Amino acid sequence: MAGWEGTAGDGNLYDAALRMGLHIDDAKFDILDAGFALATKALTPHRGKRYHLKEFARGRQRPQSKEELFNLWHAQLRNVVERIFGILKKRFSVLVCPVEYNYKFQVDLVLALCLLHNFIRRHGNDSLEQEVVDEIRRQNEQPMDSSDMPLFNEALESSEAKTWRDEIAQDMWDQYQITLRARHNRYSRNLF
C-alpha cells in the first residue's frame, strides 16, 4: 500500500487495507506468506513444510505430500508478485534511491510509476521483465536463511480456513498423483 512506512509489518498493512475498504470478490482470495494468519480470503502456506522454491530446486526433489505440493504452488504464485516489485525497481531507479520529496509526493510518485509501468506493458516493448525473471531465478538458487521466515501466531488461524486450505491441497495432490501415473504409464509403454 503506497503511503506506509517500509518498516510496517505485513499483517498491519493487510489489516489496514481491509479496514480501508479493500474488497476481495467472493470467488477470489489473497495469496499471503507465512507472516499472516490463515483466514477466509487469506491463503497462507502450510507451516513446517518445505516452502521456498530453492528448497524444491535442490536435488530436483518432488513434493512428498499434499502440503509440500500446495506450498510449492503457493510459492510460485507469490514469486510472480516479487517479480513485479523487481521489475518496478529496475525500471524506475527512483524507487530504490533516497529521495528528498515531501511524503505526499512520494506516495503519488509510486502510484504514478505503477500506472506508467502498466501502460508500458500494454503498449510498448517490455524486455526488462525477462531480465528480472532471470535475476529472481538466480536469487532463488541461494541457500535459504531461516531469518527470512516471518513470525506468526498460529492460534489466529481459523479452523474453517484450515479446512479450506486442506481441501485445496488434497485436490491438488489427487490431480498430481493422476499426472504422475499418466507420465509413468507413457514412459513404461515407450520402453517396450
Per-residue pLDDT of the chain (192 residues; tens, 9 = 90+): 677 776 667 777 777 878 888 777 778 888 888 888 888 888 999 988 887 777 777 666 788 899 999 999 998 888 888 888 888 998 898 998 888 888 889 889 989 999 998 888 888 766 666 666 666 666 655 544 444 444 444 445 688 899 999 999 999 999 999 999 998 888 777 776
Domain ranges of the chain: 8-47+154-168, 49-98+127-151
CA angle 62–65–66, rounded 5-degree value = 110
pTM above the 0.85 mark? Answer: no
Phi, psi (deg, nearest 5) at residue 39: -155, 170
For cell 507451516, name the residue: 47
